[in-house]
Amino acid sequence: MTTTLTDRPLTETALEVFRRSGNPFRNYFARNPDDEVCSRYHVPELYALQREQLLGVVDLYRYSPTMHCEVVPILGNKGAGKTHLLHSIKHGTDGTWQLLVTPGVYQKDTDFLEYLLFQLIDTLLGGGKQKNTRPMEYVAEQLVRKLFADTLAGLDEAHRLEVFPTPGLARWTRKLGLGTSQALERVQWLIDTMKRPAPLPLQPGAIRKALDETGLDPARALELIHQHIDRTEPRNTAGLMRRHILEGFARSVLQNDESDLATFLTYGFAELEFQVRPSRQELVLALFKAMMGVFQGMHIPVVFAFDQLEDLLLARRNDDAHRVAEAFFAGIVQAMHQLDGIAFLVFAERGLWNRFVPSLDGYIQDRLNNPIHLPSYGTLQALRLEAPPADLVRRVVEARLRPALEQLADGAELGSCYPFTSEQISRVAGTEPTLRDMLMQFRHLFDSVVFRTNEGDQEAERPTNRLPAPEPVAPLVVKSVIVVETPPIPMAMPVARTLVDATILPMPTEVGTPRSIDAVWDQEVRAARRKLEPEGALTGATRELQSGLGTFLHVCHEHGVKVGPWRLPHVVPEWTFGDHPTYGVLSIAQWVCKGGQPWRVGVGLFLGRGPAKPRDLQTKLSSFEVEPTIVDHLILLRPEDDIALTGKSKTVWQEAERRGRRARLEPVLLDAFATLYAFPRIITCMEEGLAAGQSLPNLADLLQEKCEKLLEQVCMPMQS
């Protein structure tokens, strides 16, 4: 039998829809600039002026690509909406495309220029999208169109005829001057097509389609481009680097092969023939300048946006925050002196900025506070995000409630802000300091009105800034009822709380609860896997993965994680050595058994492929040669689809064994690499949801549950 209710008020029907949909204010902050919640609840009018100004700054570098680097601080209280604003620039429809690099963690023990370079490479080669387009696909499409147009336009008539080779008798007729006009017309059509701007949103494959229409083999087009590059690029170091970069992009478009570019950007650039061997820093700077020259030639702005600076610098969680902040800002200033054409956007809490910047050296302050002249807006020194007025807060509330109200046929009769009143919205907007605080208040109010939570529950969740009691909901008029007996509900679980929990469980809840930690973990790992799936993305993310590995081991140490009889008394998240910028880095983990001596274990990534494979292995094994001895045992994580050692790699390995070096390879699945890539972001998300002064719960059980296999792979063997 079923319960029948007739002539039900629209308000009660709406409340049932809300209960079924869950509290739309549960997600009250953006976890990172790629959080899909931002686009789901985006209100274009919110911070529209600040968005236009930031896009105006980016456009300065679009029209003057070699303009000197500048820093623009975006300051606001915690929860002001800084991350949401960055998301709207990175993924929104406003403005044209730019290469936006959003580092998720600051590798404080790494040379700052190396840190920036590998963040740029990771963003370029990864599977993440900006404005619904992979950076690799956008840059390659624009570059190869220009490159191919220049190639064809630079040919004289005789060489244009050779673009389309003709077999047999047709060759003789062409020598007699027959059929030449058609070939020349096809070449001119290709030139015109390549010079035409690519339509947005970008549809990959447009160049290959144009070649198919003219009957030109992509391999032949690639050959022509190589010949053009060989004629036009100089033979110095910068020219050699540009040559490999341009050819790598051309191959990625014309042969769907990104591996050559990924290999050069992580390995080949350090293996060029140099008359005088450059230092590690000189190699990094040379590659960085070569890449920037390519972007500048296409008028593609490069923007580094540092979000949630307080978390990026670990400013709340250790005693050396000032030292880390000083190194970070000094690194930005150093990059500004060595490079041109980069816009640095720094999203920071106002209090943090005002605490750190005035205590920095004067020359650093001068560069950070240097004003920018922005056409139509005047001089811009910093952007400040203030609490939005009531009319914009109302639009934010409407955006959150709209999906549920649209399920009602007569939802418009209730108003766009039901179950709230205009007075309640104005009261919250007038008393709360930030947008996040407002959303938290609306979350409590929504629970109170829709789920009938008692006031004690609200006080337990948030003891301050309590709202007055919500407006009473219209009483339910019931004309017929059938009573259905149910088992008694235990007294320990109130009816109202049971209803709330049953309804809201599918929604992400407060970060820190077991269910929400699982949700954050799974969401971030899925996003990381998408970024690492494209060919070449794993190689390009080498340094980011190593940073994630270091963070993983550091957190395992802090939270007392054990693997069988082994525990971690000490961890060095990142240790750099040697002269190779990509491969010369390890994490050091000391593993010790009860009553035994600790083993200093170097744990690193072994991702080089093809000609890079033996070089990567040789660099990692050279860590044994450092004096005084740093590493007793070496563990290298290798993609499981290429675990076998052959040729030069096998020789290098056998030589290390002959010399008594203790090392082992561990085959790793893409999911485990995704976990390492996502791990710093997972920790940041967890800490972002904590109250001021609150520390993370112990994560030992979670890590051993989620990463059991990975922990065994980075630990000493159980039998040792």
Full 3-state SS string of 284-329: HHHHHHHHHHHHHHCCCCEEEEECCHHHHCCCCCCCCHHHHHHHHH
CA neighbours closer than 13 Å in the CB half-sphere of residue 34 = 20
pLDDT given for residue 696 in this prediction: 80
In the numeric block, the tokens 């997972």 are attached to: 682
pLDDT given for residue 314 in this prediction: 65
- The pair of three-digit structure tokens given for residue 73, joined into one six-digit string: 């601080």
d(CA 529, CA 677): 8
pLDDT in tens, 499-514: 233 333 333 445 445 5
- Which residues are CB-contacts of 204 (< 8 A; sequence separation ≥ 6)? 137, 141
Do the Cβ atoms of 84 and 30 come closer than 8 Å? yes
- The pair of three-digit structure tokens given for residue 55, joined into one six-digit string: 């896009």
Other CB atoms closer than 10 Å to residue 375's CB: what's the count?
9
d(CA 472, CA 484): 27
Beta bridge partners of 601: 589, 633
d(CA 16, CA 506): 16
Beta bridge partners of 373: 379
Alpha carbon separation from 590 to 109, 431, 631 (Å, rounded):
19, 52, 9
d(CA 591, CA 699): 19
pLDDT given for residue 276 in this prediction: 78
d(CA 598, CA 424): 61
In the numeric block, the tokens 């309590």 are attached to: 466
**Is 632 buried (19+), middle (13-18) or exposed (0-12) by CB count in 10 A?**
middle
Do the Cβ atoms of 144 and 122 come closer than 8 Å? no
Q: Residue 249: in which H helix or E strand, if any? A: helix 237-254
pLDDT given for residue 620 in this prediction: 97
Report the percentage of the chain scoring pLDDT > 70.
86
Is the bond preceding residue 218 a cis peptide, omega within 30 degrees? Answer: no
Q: Nearest CA to 596 among 638, 565, 631? A: 565
- The pair of three-digit structure tokens given for residue 201, joined into one six-digit string: 């949103």
Mean per-residue pLDDT, 365-389: 92
Do the Cβ atoms of 254 and 218 come closer than 8 Å? yes
| Residue-averaged pLDDT of the chain | 85
More confident residue, 355 or 653: 653
3-state secondary structure of 628: coil
pLDDT at 283 over 80: yes
The mean-pLDDT minimum among 15-19, 159-163, 406-410, 487-491 falls in 487-491
Is the bond preceding residue 628 a cis peptide, omega within 30 degrees? Answer: yes
pLDDT at 170 over 80: no
CA dihedral 28, 522, 89, 300 (to 10 degrees): 170
Do the Cβ atoms of 438 and 393 come closer than 8 Å? yes
Do the Cβ atoms of 632 and 601 come closer than 8 Å? yes
Do the Cβ atoms of 624 and 631 come closer than 8 Å? yes
DSSP state at residue 694:
P
Other CB atoms closer than 10 Å to residue 686's CB: what's the count?
20
- The pair of three-digit structure tokens given for residue 583, joined into one six-digit string: 């491969």
- Which residues are CB-contacts of 652 (< 8 A; sequence separation ≥ 6)? 614, 617, 618, 621
The mean-pLDDT minimum among 51-60, 342-351, 374-383, 472-481 falls in 472-481
d(CA 363, CA 357): 11
Beta bridge partners of 343: 70, 303
pLDDT given for residue 11 in this prediction: 86
| Band of residue 693 on the pLDDT scale cut at 50, 70, 90 | low
pLDDT at 606 over 60: yes
pLDDT given for residue 514 in this prediction: 52
pLDDT in tens, 290-333: 999 999 999 999 999 999 887 777 655 555 777 888 889 999 99
d(CA 170, CA 707): 65
Query: DSSP string spanning 334-394?
Result: HHHHH-BSEEEEEEEEHHHHHHHGGGS-HHHHHHHT--EEETTTEEES-EEEPPPPHHHHH
Most confident option among 5-14, 132-141, 158-167, 481-490: 132-141
- Which residues are CB-contacts of 162 (< 8 A; sequence separation ≥ 6)? none
pLDDT in tens, 30-67: 778 888 888 888 999 999 999 999 999 999 999 999 99
Beta strand 383-385 with 70-76 is parallel
pLDDT at 177 over 60: no
Report the percentage of the chain scoring pLDDT > 90.
64
pLDDT given for residue 275 in this prediction: 76
pLDDT given for residue 166 in this prediction: 65
pLDDT given for residue 558 in this prediction: 93
- The pair of three-digit structure tokens given for residue 672, joined into one six-digit string: 């485990």
Q: Indicate the CATH number for domain 36-132+301-385.
A: 3.40.50
More confident residue, 94 or 565: 565
d(CA 41, CA 57): 26
Q: Looking at this protein, which amino acid is placed at residue 706?
A: K
- Which residues are CB-contacts of 650 (< 8 A; sequence separation ≥ 6)? none
pLDDT at 478 over 80: no
Enumerate the domain spans of the chain: 10-24+388-497, 36-132+301-385, 135-285, 518-713
Q: Within its chain, how far is the Cα of 653 from the centroid?
A: 35
pLDDT given for residue 321 in this prediction: 76
Do the Cβ atoms of 10 and 414 come closer than 8 Å? yes
- The pair of three-digit structure tokens given for residue 123, joined into one six-digit string: 């963003």
Beta bridge partners of 562: 567
The vertex-339 CA angle with 104 and 528, nearest 5°, equals 20
pLDDT given for residue 635 in this prediction: 97
Is the bond preceding residue 463 a cis peptide, omega within 30 degrees? Answer: no
More confident residue, 112 or 178: 112
